[in-house]
Amino acid sequence: MKNLLVISPDKGMAEALRSCLDQNDYRVLEAASIGEDEMRQAAPTVDACVLDADLATVDAIRQVGKARKLLPQAPLLLYSAGEDWKWEEEAYVLGVNNVLRKPVRARQLLSILDRLLAQEAAPEAPKATASLPKEASASRIDLLLQLSSLLAAGLQVRPLLNKALLLLRAELGINRAAIFLKQGRRLQPTCSIGLLPGVLRALDLTTDDGIGEYVSHHGKVLRLESAGRQARREFQTLGTKVAIPMFDQESMVGVALLDNRITGEPIGDGELAALFFLLERLSAPIKAIREHEQEVADHGLLTGIVQGIQSGCVVIKRDLSILFLNEPARHHLGLPVGAVQFRDLPQDIGSRVFQAFQGAGTPKPFDFISRAKPEVHCRASIALDGAQADALTLWIEDCTQADLRKREEAEAASLKAVRGLAGRLAHEIGNAVVPIFAQHQLADRNDPELRQAVDEGINRVGQLVGQMRALAQDRNGHTVNVPVAQLIEDAFAAQKPS
């Protein structure tokens, strides 16, 4: 019994094939998508594979390449509802045995399966190269050495692509080549061979028009002969003949522009398909490298911001190593210049940090005195994102000015209350003195000593009332002394008839 693997998101495809095949001769296995682990496990038992993918987008070609890679020996049939000879050609180049049109036809399917499986069962003729194992081995070793040279580029996009272009130039014999990487809606020149830098800077490639618009929208290789007016102008400016998009299986990363061979011979379709998938393999690490570079830039920006703030910041790992320390924190904690160890921190702060890592919970903010200036009052807080966090942040703030402002506000509030109390007391005392003053006026005038004593007491009370009223006044306003006599004289002078 033969095992037929059907890869289709539509369950009806597998049922249609079961209805066409004899269940005694074929067992139909179903899979909704191409999973690498499952395919590798099932590869030894699969006799043939049927792939359901419409040849209208680049995704179908990617599935074909993936299926052929995971099932290198099994015959591969492709069912498609669309009809595009260019995509069919790509599918045959990647190893599809037959491209069939939907719907499924029983006689056609049985005839093709019988012929393909009969060819697989026939013994293979000995290959002519079997007598040259040493040369084949040397060729593989040379290829591995060439590919391993890409590892020297490390986490740098430009050296990696430069090395890849040199390898392509040596293998294909091309004269000119350039790679443009996508940044937003623009395609920026990253590396080139055989082109002047001024030409690359003068050319403005975008995904809105020309080559960039075609490869980003269609995801296919573009030749000069089939290009539009704007794309043709860009090809002619660079002196290239073909554009190969670079995808990371999710989105476009860039585009590679290549010229013909140095002999004038154009690059074949099979070689272009191989280059497409080779550049796809390079696109994933390029995207990862660019994301890493962006993270490094963001980290540098954040580090600069934290270095410039007035608050102290210390980042401590779970193994009690200090990852980051800015100058305000070094100043308040009295730490030496240079590398700082956890044991250099004050004992009170170190114990709280250790307890936070041990799962005691995030401690509340606490106060301490600066080592550099004992008169400076500081407040520290520990920020820990979960009990299993790899690091925590210690924030230190100088609270001296804040405490001073609080004291000034308290004193201002007390002074305001005193002013209010003085105003009320002056009013009450004035009311209490009125009847005394009236009785004093009506008292016997023949007793001068009594009148003098009462006058002195009333005057003293009046002075105190005046002082309390002056205290109750709000003196925040600006006062200006004006000579009233001069103003009156000027007013009368202005009213005199001339």
What's the rounded mean pLDDT across residues 340-346? 86
Confidence of residue 440 (pLDDT cuts 50, 70, 90): low
Which residues does residue 312 pair with via DSSP β-bridges, in sequence order? 396
Q: Which position has the higher pLDDT, 150 or 28?
A: 28
Confidence at residue 243, expressed as pLDDT on a 0 to 100 scale: 93
Architecture, CATH, for domain 2-120: 3-Layer(aba) Sandwich (3.40)
- Residue-wise pLDDT tens digits, 180-212: 998 888 898 888 888 887 788 778 889 888 999
**Residue 255's pLDDT is what?**
92
pLDDT surpasses 60 at 477: no
pLDDT of residue 256: 92
Instruction: Give the three-class secondary structure for 7.
Output: strand
DSSP string, 177-207: EEEEEEETTEEEEEEEESS-HHHHHH--EET
Tell me which DSSP letter residue 318 carries. Answer: T
pLDDT digits (tens, 9 = 90+) for 140-170: 455 555 555 555 455 677 887 888 888 878 7
- Across 136-140, 216-220, 242-246, least confident range: 136-140
Q: What is the pLDDT of residue 480?
A: 64
Residue 443: predicted pLDDT: 64
What would the mean pLDDT of 50-57 be, rounded to a whole number? Answer: 79
Helices and strands in the chain, H and E counts: 16, 16
Determine the pLDDT at residue 150: 56
Are 260 and 239 within 8 A, CB to CB?
no
Q: Which residues pair with 77 in a beta bridge?
A: 50, 98
Res 45 pLDDT > 50: yes
Q: 442 pLDDT band (50/70/90 cuts)?
A: low
Q: Is the pLDDT of residue 136 over 50?
A: no
Q: Which amino acid does the sequence have at 457?
A: G
Mean pLDDT, the chain, whole residue set = 79
Q: Is 228 helix (H, G, I), strand (E, B) or coil?
A: coil
Q: Which of 54-63, 165-174, 266-275 is modeled with the greatest confidence?
A: 266-275
Residue of higher predicted confidence among 422 and 28: 28
Q: For residue 367, list its beta bridge partners.
A: 379
SS3 314: strand
Q: Is the pLDDT of residue 433 over 80?
A: no
For residues 482-492, give the mean pLDDT. Answer: 75
Contacts (Cβ under 8 Å, ≥6 apart) of 366: 348, 352, 379, 380, 381
**pLDDT score, position 130:** 38
Termini Cα distance of the chain: 136
pLDDT reading at 226 higher than 80: yes
Low-confidence winner among 135-139, 237-241, 432-436, 441-445 (lowest mean pLDDT): 135-139
Report angle CA 215, 216, 221 to the nearest 5 degrees: 20
Domain 309-398: give its CATH architecture.
2-Layer Sandwich (3.30)
- State the Cα–Cα distance between residues 171 and 273, nearest whole angstrom: 15
Question: pLDDT tens digits, residue range 294-342?
Answer: 888 888 877 787 777 778 889 988 888 888 888 888 888 888 888 888 8
Above 60 in pLDDT, residue 134? no
Per-domain residue ranges for the chain?
Answer: 2-120, 149-292, 309-398, 414-472
The 10s digit of each residue's pLDDT in 360-411 is 666 788 888 877 677 778 888 888 877 677 888 888 888 877 778 888 888 8
Q: 149-292 architecture in CATH?
A: 2-Layer Sandwich (3.30)
Q: Do 2-120 and 309-398 show the same overall fold?
A: no
**pLDDT for the residue numbered 151:** 55
